Structure 1
Amino acid sequence: MKNKIIASVWLLAGIVLSSCSRTQLLRSTFENDAVGSQPNLELPGDPVGDRMQYQDVIAPRIRVQNSTIAGEKALHFSQIRVGTVVFLRQW
Structure 2
Amino acid sequence: MKRRNFVKAAGGYVLLFPLIKPFANISINEGDIDLIRILKIFKEKKFDGVFIPDHTPQMSCDAPWYAGMAYTLGYMKADLNLI
TM-score class, shorter-chain normalisation, is: under 0.3
Higher helix share: 2
TM-score by length of 2: 0.22
Higher RCO (CA-CA < 8 Å; seq separation 6+): 2
TM-score by length of 1: 0.21
**Which entry has the higher C-alpha Rg, 1 or 2?**
1
